[in-house]
Structure 1
Amino acid sequence: MDALPGLPFDNSYAKLPERFYARLAPTPVAAPRLVKLNEALALRLGLDPQALASAEGVEMLAGNRVAPGSEPIALAYAGHQFGNFVPQLGDGRAILLGEVVDRDGRRRDIQLKGSGPTPFSRNGDGRAAVGPVLREYIVSEAMAALGVPTTRSLAAVTTGEPIWRDGELPGAVLTRVASSHVRVGTFQFFAARRDTEALRLLAEHVIARHYPEAREAAEPYRALFEAVIARQASLVAQWLLVGFIHGVMNTDNCSIAGETIDYGPCAFMDAYNPETVFSSIDQQGRYAYAHQPGIAHWNLARFGETLLPLLADDSDKALAIANEALGTFRDRYVGALTGGLRRKLGLFTEEAGDSALAQDLLNAMTDGLADFTLTFRRLGDAAADPAADAEVRRLFANKPDSFDVWLPRWRERLAREPQDGASRRAAMHAANPLYIPRNHRVELALAAAAEREDYGPFEELLAVLAKPFEERPEFAAYAEPAPADQGVYRTFCGT
């Protein structure tokens, strides 16, 4: 095998005991073809884009070739899925190739998703279709551009092989980059087996990798728990501030690093409604938009349960420590959300009534069926010029008087802010994106790729979403909600 340059693996997880993973190579595919390479991300990782795009590089990205220094493993984890505990899940269709240290000194996992069956596949084929692969590429890169912590997409490769779901679909492999792939479910895997030694090793690994400041604390494992709580509280607040619905917030999809991970049945809201659900498998609305903070708290409680043997020798004391730490979640989340809503409304000082002002706007948006993204974006224009109020009002087509009642209160509040109109507009536009991955646009791009091997719509959508806050007249149509005959109401997991 020729050496593949530009992959300076420096693996740490593979040095943990073998019960943490299964060692195996990806399953080769028939005819790999590079669809998309994230050259900017490759450079940040210290990788050579030309090497990755070469024939040898594409072989590696498809799983046909194991690069020197790679130690391919499928990770073991458990998880609560829709509230039901499954003691062993694991990477059923993903293989961690290894870790690199990027140009900023941060450690990053490089993982293939859709790279064939593993010991955790549970009779699945371990493969992925091109649609879900491109969906994760689009949405994860959009989230990164929006400033939301997320896994990233390095490459998408088609396999030249069909896979079968409801019918025959073209296969593909995604190369995913993450701060790590340790999940709440990873801790649950060992807690379910009462393997305290493994829990301690895993906690030490996470502290060293993600939370080194916890090592200096008087109670390192409590500090770890509190740090994870803080990151999750901030993350979920950021989801709500951009109208994002994860769709499947199981504990195996809850990253210890505080990144958004696993873009299966995810979507962004058009018309604001706190009970919005897109996932076809979420029949009871467990993971609806407004339920996400409560589910994050629930997932963190499950994480706290796994840490009890590490928090104190006495079980009652350990439980008290965990509950006290968990009690910080709400204030952290509310603080992050309230601060974000202030920025979205052009408020840069704090007043006691700001939360109520924001909530009353959201209530009016629900009544008026107003578009979430466009309402906040157009408020930025209205902040600079009251003549733009009419453009905001048009979004409340179902009940415009609800906006009429709210508007004077906002104007009165803005009058107590120090900025001039132009400065406020610029600040609000920096907080309120114009372009998000509108569901109908994503679906059109995926259909063109899967049905016609036309990747033009995919490439154009990526170009639009790369600069979500920058208005570009040539892409004006991408800011608009779906026409009535193109609404997408269900998303699917793709497994």
Structure 2
Amino acid sequence: MPIAFDNSYARLPERFFALTPPTPVPEPRLVRLNPAQAEELGLDPAWLSGPEGLAMLSGNAITEGSTPIATAYAGHQFGNFVPQLGDGRAILLGEVIDRFGRRRDIQLKGAGRTRFSRGGDGRAALGPVMREYIVSEAMAALGIPTTRALAFVLTGARVMRDAILPGAVLTRVASSHIRVGTFQFFAARQDTEALRTLADHVIARHHPQAAQAPDRYLGLLEAVIAVQADLMVRWLLVGFIHGVMNTDNVSVAGETIDYGPCAFLDGYDPATVFSAIDTGRRYAYGNQPSIALWNLTRFAEALLPLLAETVDGAVEVAQAALAGFAPRFQAGYDAGIARKLGLPGDSEGDTILGAEFLSLLGAAQADFTLSFRHLARLQAGEADEAPLRATLAHPPALDGWLERWRARSAGTAPGALLAINPAYIPRNHRIEAAIAAAQERDDFGPFEELLAVLAEPFVERPGYADYENPPQPEERVLRTFCGT
């Protein structure tokens, strides 16, 4: 058997999902296979690239052992609760145990309508599939917990969005696709039995340490709070903006999931929003930690029936757990900024020094990634102050800051910051250029080159210096869009 599926989620009660075969497509064409990800999953890249593999990756055939399902979930979308959402254009083919003993989902995104499609076509367009492939793989290379891209297939069909676009299917790999919204789905139905079953499944699969806690469900809540706090730290330290932090897009495994109108900062401004649908700036870059806590509060509300015998008792337990989010996030963020600057991070003065550097960036609207990289080169002795001063537009305050920074970072090994501050991120204008080349000319060369550069984000490559640079004014991409 080419894939050893072991589908634990499909063994849960029927109300957790809908059995849903993918809808076949007319002319599947494999554009990209991620062979390293295939091998990590214990899959044969040659088989996946062949006729049988292509049939599975496009949704044209159901491989032996697969139990295709669309999972049920609810969610708060921009603060408004929707009691039934579910996989409207994604179908979970099954689960495998990878070479490291980890259980992983294999899911097709854009594989056709499901019971949860709510009038949608269940398909995906080329552009959003390419964006998710690029950004999720870049996030993995940056060391940030994320879903992964296994393959990208053109379907030979067209989809209607704001224009008629080429259709595509992304094969996504995740620790699971269980979300805060999955718990909300059952909480909204007052289905405590299902809540308990789901919680036990998540504890066993993602947070086994919670089973050793005095109260396993409080342990689960605390574990999800911890992984989400840590994820927010990692996002902010690389300038990532998710764009749609609805509760149905929050993984209880602590992975970044559902890349829609996501983007990375160019000029540093905590109020930055790219998503065209986020007109109120709810999910701005700097709002992400507070929104994460809001989403976790909704998770805690869903768990209340499992936390104590009375509502008041459960609320008290939940509030005490949620109070741990802010200090964990802040400590992690302050330590992360200190690492990016090469500071010991053991004093309030280091925190102030970090905040002052960000203030300098904000005042100049300086490029976030490039400014830290210039500082890393300065610390390594590979450059003088000129590039940093040019990026920051020569603020007088920089002189005093550099003097204090040098004194505090003197003990950091030369070159250490180059391994912490990336040279390359998936900049919006580069992503859009790759998508345009593919859509307009069927040219995937820019896509492949961008993936190659992003695969080693800390290693400067000869001939690719331009990938470090922020966009020119005429290249700026100010709005990104969901794929639905």
What TM-score, normalized to structure 2? 0.99
- The whole-number CA distance in structure 2 between the counterparts of 1:473 and 1:405 is 34
Which residue is 1:449 aligned to? 438
Deviates more, 1:361-370 or 1:385-394: 385-394
- CA deviations 1:341-388 (Å, max 9, x no partner) are 111001235122111111111111011121100111111122233961
For 1:479 and 1:145, the matched residues in 2 are separated by 16
CA distance in structure 2 between the aligned counterparts of 1:382 and 1:400, rounded to whole angstroms: 17
State the Cα distance separating 1:6 from its structure 2 match: 2.5
Consecutive unaligned residues in structure 2, runs of 5 or more = none
CA distance in 1, matches of 2:460, 2:450: 14
Structure 2 partner of 1:75: 71
Aligned to 1:488: 477
1:413 Cα deviation after fit: 1.9
- Which of 400, 406, 426 in structure 1 is aligned with 2:401? 406
Match of 2:459 among 451, 462, 470: 470
In the aligned structure 2, how far is the partner of 1:224 from the partner of 1:86? 24
With over 3 angstroms needed to count, the CA separation of the structure-2 counterparts of 1:78 and 1:403, relative to structure 1, is: same
2:126–2:166 Cα contact (<8 Å) kept: yes
Question: Could you tell me how far apart the structure 1 residues matched to 2:345 and 2:321 are?
Answer: 29
Contact conserved, 1:394 with 1:400, CA < 8 A, in 2? no
The residue aligned with 1:105 is 101
- Report the Cα offset of residue 494 of structure 1: 1.4
Unaligned runs of 5+ in 1: none
Count of residue pairs brought into register by the alignment: 484
Quote the offset at 1:480 in angstroms: 0.6
Q: Work out the CA distance in 2 between the residues paired with 1:385 and 1:457.
A: 33
Q: What are the within-5 Å matches in structure 2 for residues 19-98 of structure 1?
A: 19-98=15-94
Given that 1:240 and 1:289 are in contact with CA atoms closer than 8 Å, whether structure 2 keeps it comes out as yes
1:115 is the counterpart of 2:90: no
Partner of 2:137: 141
Pairwise mapping of residues 3-402 of structure 1 onto structure 2 (< 5 A)?
5-385=1-381, 388-397=384-393, 400-402=395-397
Q: Is the 8 A contact 2:180 2:251 kept in 1?
A: yes
CA distance in 1, matches of 2:449, 2:344: 35
Q: Match for 1:24: what amino acid?
A: T
Verify the 8 A CA contact 2:344 2:350 in the aligned structure 1: no
Work out the CA distance in 2 between the residues paired with 1:336 and 1:259.
17
SS in 1 for 2:3: coil
Normalized against structure 1, the TM-score is what?
0.96
TM-superposed deviation, 1:223: 0.4
Please list every run of at least 4 consecutive aligned residues from structure 1 whose deviation after the TM superposition is greater than 6 angstroms: none
- Cα RMSD over matched residues? 1.1
What residue in structure 1 maps to residue 419 of structure 2? 430
**Match of 2:23, SS?**
coil
1:142-167 CA-partner distances (Å, limit 9, x unpaired): 00000000000000000000000011
Once the 2 structures are TM-superposed, how far is the Cα of residue 174 of structure 1 from its aligned partner?
Answer: 0.2
Q: Aligned letter for 1:449?
A: A
Letter in 2 for 1:432: N
The question of whether the paired residues in 1 share the 8 Å contact of 2:380 and 2:417 is answered with no
Amino acid at match of 1:479: E
Identity %: 64
**For the Cα contact (< 8 Å) 1:6–1:51, is it kept in 2?**
yes
